[in-house]
Chain A
Amino acid sequence: MAIGVKVMKRPERQVSYVRATLKGMALTFKHMFEPKVTMQYPEEKSTADWSISQRWRGTHRMLTDEQGRSKCVACGLCPQICPANCIKLVPGEDEQGNRYPLIYEIDEFRCVFCGYCQEVCPEEAIHVGVHFENAEYTRGRFVYDLERLQSQTHPVSTLWDPSDPRGE
């Protein structure tokens, strides 16, 4: 016998077709009465067994301060770190010398949802969100401007914490 040829020991006598068929049929019949695993999506979006992770990185959200202005100080770190180059930021400055974004746009089609913008932001202004229902009728609607980013209400991602890698 050639080296490395493994001969499977196959059953010689106990090959049961009738019993195996009946066993299979009993199994499938039993399954008909087991609880269904399907989640009825539009009606129920999370169940006890399944809910979306707190670390989910979805479409962005810009947090605001008490006066309803964005927390962003237009430091320029997020467009700098963004690997997909999807953030457009034009900084402005008011009379007191506070910087704020004149234009802040995120192209959600270009975004790779790495979450670096949230990680790098010194003011904890821009966040990726725990959110996945993003359907729109036109492509243009996927460029989120500052107003839209501020008006999002979904929870923000907690991202991955190196000191707590398993989220405990």
Chain B
Amino acid sequence: MTPEMKGFILLSVIKMLLVFTVIMIGVALLTLMERKVSAWMQNRRGPNRVGWAGLLQPAADGVKNILKEETFPALANQGLFFLAPALSFIPALLLSAVIPFAAPLPLDFDFSLGPLGRFAHHGLMPMVVADLPVGFLFVLSISSMGVYGIALAGWSSNSKYALLGGLRASAQMISYEVAMGLSLIPVLLMSGNVSFGAIIHEQQVGLWYVLPLFLSFFVFLISGFAETNRLPFDLPEAESELIAGYHTEYSAMKFSFFFIAEYANVVTVCAMVTTLFFGGWDIPGHWDEQGGVLQTLVTGGAFFLKLMFWIFFVMWIRWTLPRFRYDQLMALGWKVLMPLALAYIMVVCTAIYAIEHVAGITNPKVEALALFGVNVVVGLLVFGLLDSGMFVRGSGRRPATSEVTG
């Protein structure tokens, strides 16, 4: 092994430990944040007894869950019942490996470590665990695996509520995956690359994609909610109908794992929104292109702030909107978001072609601004129609029988 390779492995292990620790602690704190935010929105205080301002509440919950009795349903499929929490947990964590969380760090070292030999690294170190050239596709493929954990949990529990929850989860996650994937194609069209590093770079030279690709962002955000099974799309664990849905039969730490998986998924979706539409660690105004350790730290802070905002947004939505009805959920996914995403691909394709080849604009900033103009028009149209209830119909807007037959 060359010293460079050993240096790479060393750095990768360090980054892995760092990201894993941050995600695990962060997820624990997110459960506290969720409870705090929900409390504030309901004029309450939230947990504030354990530790300062309740900061040790997650630790107390963890201890409680470890000490609790584990129950197994008598006729459950033991193997799968055991495997399901891990299956929902692993993809959620895997995804955090490809999200760049700060500007590349210039790092030069060359040292010997006894029998292990020389370690060396020269040049920029990307602040991501695995700088995959296909990062984007990796995310799409791994995020689809999350459905296995939930579906298997529902099926192996040998309980009707769990089974219904698992069924709903699989239907919902597969449906929204379509819209999610389609909504991301305009991002690829704009950036011309599937690596996260390149996507962030394109946003640095142009505009953050939330402006030129606003509808993509909108569709992605809604699909993200559905993918993570968060309110208003938490049909798989609709407690008023299904007790706790797919994790009805789970107890103690295995139940906790589903919880951790849910929050890890929220973190991942928010990180995706940040990276794909809000420039990742980018700070506008070219300040962040001077390089250096300070730049890495500040951009890391910027990424964290954006991420926290979107996590807060997810919680904000959760405590604002009531749960969808199941048919409305499916109708929204298949009849609104998917055609919208498809049509939007057409619009963006046409617009990009027109801008680049007909108008001959090559400056990425001008191009993004022109696309933003297109978005304003299309967005007003779409939101006007959405607002008037043309796409999603409540029960009060069902067509009368005569309308259907006649």
Residues of A bordering B, CB below 8 Å:
8, 10-13, 15-19, 21, 24-25, 27-29, 31-32, 34-38, 40
**B49, chain A: closest CB distance, angstroms:** 9
Q: Which of B120-128, B164-172, B182-190, B380-388 contacts the other chain?
A: B380-388
Q: Which candidate, B70-78, B267-275, B280-288, B316-324, is the interface stretch facing chain A? A: B316-324
Inter-chain CA distance A92–B317, complex, in Å, is 71
The size bracket of the interface on B is: 20 to 34
12 more contacts with CB within 8 A, not counting A18-B387, A31-B42, are A16-B387, A16-B389, A24-B321, A28-B41, A28-B319, A31-B40, A31-B41, A32-B37, A36-B40, A38-B43, A38-B44, A38-B45
B357 within 8 A of A: no
| Closest chain A residue, CB of each to CB of B396 | A10
User: Total number of A-B contacts with CB less than 8 angstroms?
Assistant: 58
Q: Could you tell me if A35 and B43 are in contact, using CB atoms closer than 8 angstroms? A: yes
| Residues of chain A with a CB closer than 8 A to B396's CB | 8, 10-11, 15
Which residues of B does A touch, CB under 8 Å? Answer: 37, 39-45, 316-317, 319-321, 383, 386-389, 392-394, 396-397
Query: Which of chain A's residues have a CB closer than 8 A to the CB of B41?
Result: 28-29, 31-32
Q: With the chains together, A106 CA to B395 CA distance in Å?
A: 60
Q: List 27 A-B contacts (CB under 8 A).
A: A8-B396, A10-B396, A12-B397, A13-B388, A13-B389, A15-B393, A15-B394, A15-B396, A15-B397, A16-B387, A16-B388, A17-B387, A17-B389, A18-B386, A18-B387, A25-B320, A28-B316, A28-B320, A29-B41, A29-B316, A31-B42, A31-B43, A32-B37, A32-B40, A36-B44, A36-B45, A38-B43
A49 to chain B, nearest CB (A): 13
Kindly provide the distance from the CB of A33 to the nearest chain B CB, expressed in whole angstroms: 8
Tell me how far the C-beta of B90 lies from the nearest C-beta in chain A, rounded to whole angstroms: 33
Contact of B321 among A8, A21, A32 (CB under 8 A): A21
From A9, which residue of chain B is reached at the shortest CB distance? B396
* Shortest Cβ gap from A19 to chain B (Å): 6
The answer on a CB contact under 8 Å between A17 and B386 is yes
Which A residues lie within 8 Å of B389 (CB)?
13, 15-17
Query: Of B320, B383, B393, B397, which is within 8 A of A24 by CB?
Result: B320
Bound Cα distance A36, B396 (Å): 37
- A27 CA / B40 CA spacing, docked (Å): 12
Residue of B nearest to A38 (CB): B45
Chain B contacts for A24, CB-based, 8 A: 320-321
- CB–CB A17/B392 < 8 A: yes
Output the least CB separation between B190 and chain A (Å): 25
In whole Å, how far is A94's beta carbon from the nearest beta carbon of chain B?
A: 53
Q: How far is the CA of A96 from the CA of B71 in the complex (A)?
A: 70
Q: Are A25 and B316 in contact (CB under 8 A)?
A: yes
